[in-house]
């Protein structure tokens, strides 16, 4: 159980890695939770951690990063069970009034995959009902730190089996551009924070 402030206890699952105990802030595993959500849900969180698919919530993620949970580990798996793990040595969110802009630092696993998260550095969070200037959140149907639009989309639509053709004019799967391309939706992705 983590207490985010004096009045809000919240149960989170911890994972133990080389950096000590980590807290998952997002996971896509089964496609059982719809990530085409409005701002309120992305700010406060949705899904159930024990069921596999969830988003912890921007307000809780910011509290964690303010408390020193600033190492980000991303695990990606394709439909052949090939796994990639990447790490950033700094991850933080800006203020709620600025729509939680992303601040991401040094990418320390460049030998694994190119850095696709860094493209969103400095961008405010956007959702269907609070879209970015280019309406990427509206067209891709997921909340994210869009930069016309994104090189990775962990909150995209869960397409089974990998390759997909989007219904609209925008790729909207769970993609990582420099691994499998925009038109391949990953089987699994998780984002975890570790304490510095």
Q: State the pLDDT at residue 111.
A: 87
Summarize the confidence of residues 25-51 as an average pLDDT. 95
Whether this model's pTM surpasses 0.95 = no
The proportion of the chain whose per-residue pLDDT surpasses 70, expressed as a percent, equals: 90
CATH architecture of 2-195: Alpha-Beta Complex (3.90)
- Helix, strand, or coil (residue 43): helix
Q: What average pLDDT does the segment 111-117 reach?
A: 94
Q: How many CA atoms lie within 13 A of 95 on its CB side?
A: 2
pLDDT value, residue 7? 55
Asked if residues 131 and 115 have their Cβ atoms less than 8 Å apart, the reply is no
The pLDDT score that the predictor gives to residue 20 is: 64
Confidence (pLDDT) at 36: 97
Q: What percent of the chain has pLDDT over 90?
A: 82
**Residue spans of alpha helices (H) in 145-192:** none
Q: How far apart are CA 37 and CA 156, in angstroms?
A: 11
CB contact set of 135 (below 8 Å; sequence gap of 6+): none
At 167 the pLDDT is 85
* pLDDT reported for residue 50: 80
- Residue 6 has a pLDDT of 53
User: pLDDT band at residue 10, thresholds of 50, 70 and 90?
Assistant: low
pLDDT digit string, tens, across residues 72-111: 999 999 999 999 999 999 999 999 999 999 999 989 988 8
Compute the residue count for the chain. Answer: 196
**Predicted pLDDT of residue 8:** 59
> How much is the average pLDDT of 160-179?
95
pLDDT of residue 21: 72
133-160 mean pLDDT: 97
Which of the two residues, 20 and 157, has the higher pLDDT score? 157
pLDDT of residue 3: 53
């Amino acid at each position: 159980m983590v207490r985010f402030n004096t009045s809000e206890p919240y149960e989170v699952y911890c994972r133990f890695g080389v950096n000590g105990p980590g807290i998952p802030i997002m996971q896509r595993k089964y496609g059982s939770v719809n990530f085409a959500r409005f701002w309120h849900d992305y700010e406060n969180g949705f899904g159930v951690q024990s069921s596999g698919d969830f988003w912890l919530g921007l307000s809780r993620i910011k509290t964690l990063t303010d408390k020193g949970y600033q190492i980000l580990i991303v695990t990606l798996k394709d439909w052949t069970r090939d796994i990639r793990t990447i790490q950033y040595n700094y991850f933080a969110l800006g203020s709620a009034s600025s729509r939680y802009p992303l601040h991401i630092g040094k990418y320390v696993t460049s030998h694994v995959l190119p850095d696709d998260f860094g493209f969103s550095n400095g961008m405010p969070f956007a959702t269907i009902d609070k879209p970015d200037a280019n309406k990427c959140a509206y067209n891709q149907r997921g909340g994210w730190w869009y930069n016309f639009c994104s090189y990775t989309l962990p909150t995209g639509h869960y397409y089974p089996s990998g390759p997909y053709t989007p219904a609209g004019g925008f790729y909207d799967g769970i993609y990582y551009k420099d691994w499998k391309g925009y038109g391949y939706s990953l089987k699994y992705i998780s984002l975890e924070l570790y304490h510095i």
